[in-house]
Amino acid sequence: MNKLYLWGGIFSVALVGATYAAIGMTKGGLNGDIVNILAVLGAIAIALITIWVVVKYVRQMQTDTATGELAEENWDGIGEYKNDLPIGWAVMFMALNIWGFWYFIVGYPVNAFSQIGQYNDEVAEKNAKFQAVYADIKGERLVEMGESVFIANCTVCHGINADGMDGKAANLNQRIEKKTVKYVINHGSNNHLLGMEMPMPDRNGLFNANTGALITDAEIDTVASYVANGFQGAGADIFAGTCAGCHGADGRGIAGVAPNLREFTPELIANVLAHSKKGAIGKMPAIDVLNKKQTEAVAAYIISLSK
């Protein structure tokens, strides 16, 4: 027997044996679960088909010669034969299609029970009850709820005091830091801060109307200090000439155009949580585990920190 066939057979037996042994070592084995059984059968089938195809066609490439009628088309003298589709490929293609239809319709239909689906349904049900029970919470009680949500979900990065733990994350005790302002001016922003695609251009698209030229490094440094210091000190003229057109003359933003730079707003915080945010110190991931009321509460808490 050809060595290629021999090693292919040995590898197939070893692979099936290893799969069976691995299943037997797990607690309960297949345990009669149709999903586990189908998964194992599929893995074995794919492995055996792969080995068979490799062995067959490697051997065929070693021994076969091209025959048949050449097609009229050729590319730089290289043409192809008018050969029919190999029977083996056609059979495998049809068999896999039949398997796929059977799997989705009978074997494990898409509308069948699943633990993930059950979990999602239960979470939705619990969130609906949560919303109903806490719908009317406002004011100080909402801030207290927000503190609990913040401690459970945000302190690992922002710290128990929301100070960002020495630059690990943003300091939420103030609206915005100088390095953040400089980063956004230099690199632009497209973080869905308005809940939609509304990118801010980078420095190559920012003109100072007072000078009629692109904003300079010195102007960026000055206006960043001005914004981070609560719109105090030097830089008011640069802000008016470069930033006020989108963020408003007072820096409190324009609806649908640019966010508020003076203070946090519930909408801004909700959008950051939903869409993530990239800034000077890295990228904050989206936080999608909070329901609507929890998001409202944590926003109220963060807003209370800077008052």
DSSP lists the bridge partners of residue 282 as 279
Residues 6+ apart with CB under 8 A from 242: 206, 207, 208, 209, 215, 219, 223
Residue 295's contacts (CB-CB under 8 Å, 6 or more residues apart) are 269, 270, 273
75 versus 177: which is more confidently predicted?
A: 177
Cα–Cα distance measured from residue 78 to residue 102, given in angstroms and rounded to the nearest whole number = 42
Weakest mean pLDDT among 76-85, 168-177, 219-228, 240-249: 76-85
| Contact (CB, 8 A) for 199 and 189 | yes
Q: Which pair of structure tokens corresponds to residue 105?
A: 């319709």
Helix axes 115-134, 292-305, angle to 10 degrees: 60
What is the mean predicted confidence (pLDDT) over 231-244? 94
pLDDT tens per residue across span 181-217: 999 999 998 778 887 777 899 999 999 999 999 999 9
- The rounded distance, in Å, linking the Cα atoms of 5 and 110 is 39
Residue 261 predicted with pLDDT over 70: yes
- What pLDDT score was predicted for residue 78? 82
Position with higher pLDDT, 114 vs 266: 266
The whole-angstrom separation of Cα 211 and Cα 209 is 6
Compute the distance between CA of residue 118 and CA of residue 140 in angstroms, rounded to an integer. Answer: 35
Tell whether pTM > 0.85: no
CB neighbour burial string for 208-246, b if at least 16 within 10 angstroms, e if fewer = beeeeeebeeebbbbbbbbbbeeeeeebeebbebbbbee
**What mean pLDDT do residues 283-299 have?**
91
The stretch 259-272 carries a mean pLDDT of 94
Please enumerate in sequence order all residues whose Cβ is within 8 A of that of 192, keeping only pairs 6 or more positions apart, or say none: 198, 271, 274, 275
Quick: pLDDT tens for 88-129.
Answer: 889 989 999 998 888 888 777 766 777 777 888 898 898 888
pLDDT tens readout for residues 76-94? 878 888 888 888 889 989 9
